[in-house]
Amino acid sequence: MLRRKLLALLGALALLASGTLIAAAPDIPKPGNKDLCPVCGMLVSKYPNWITVVIYKNGHAHYFDGAKDLFKYLGDLTKYAPGHKATDIAGIWVTDFYGLSRIDARKALYVIGSDVLGPMGNEFVPLENRNDADDFLKEHKGKRIVTFDQATPEVANKLDKGKFE
């Protein structure tokens, strides 16, 4: 795995040196020091490696201290974001565990049941691709890999109880 990461880094550096532009995620705003997770109330900026964000078409953003609270939020917008609708969401971003970069939450894969805990305990660990998810699953004793559509509020609530089936 380390070899693969090193090769990817060298490839990226070669592209930069050649003047080739690398496509990046849109400019995603960072949470302020006082931004609170709308689900649990924690200060989000204290956990930069776990930050997730929902950005609305009007530019408004809601930040979370982990993907688990994100999925609870998406499952009940009327409770956590009165006046906001799913159709108004412009983008959903999570922080990739290995690269610590923002990645599209809908394309990410998530490992559950691992020995890596987030700010709120058991967590959906976001990974950018299948190889990283498979490696993480093996290296951190994960129970399974789920997609965005499989990461429901019900699964999030089971994670809170330490259930990973």
What is the H or E stretch that residue 14 is in?
Answer: helix 2-17
Q: Does residue 5 surpass a pLDDT of 80?
A: no
Compute the distance between CA of residue 126 and CA of residue 70 in angstroms, rounded to an integer. Answer: 12
Classify residue 92 by its DSSP letter.
E
Please count the other Cβ atoms lying within 10 Å of the Cβ belonging to residue 29. 12
In a domain, 15, yes or no: no
Query: Phi, psi at residue 54, to the nearest 5°?
Result: -110, 125
In a domain, 88, yes or no: yes
The helix/strand/coil state of 60 is coil
In a domain, 43, yes or no: yes
In a domain, 20, yes or no: no
Count structural domains, the chain: 1
In a domain, 50, yes or no: yes
In 3D space, the residue among 152, 119, 154, 122 whose CA is nearest the CA of residue 140 turns out to be 122
Query: Phi, psi at residue 69, to the nearest 5°?
Result: -70, -30
- pLDDT (tens digit per residue) in 54-106: 999 999 999 999 999 999 999 999 999 999 999 999 999 999 999 999 999 99
Where in the sequence is the domain holding 80, given as residue range(s)?
A: 36-160
Query: According to the model, what pLDDT value does residue 11 have?
Result: 45
In a domain, 66, yes or no: yes
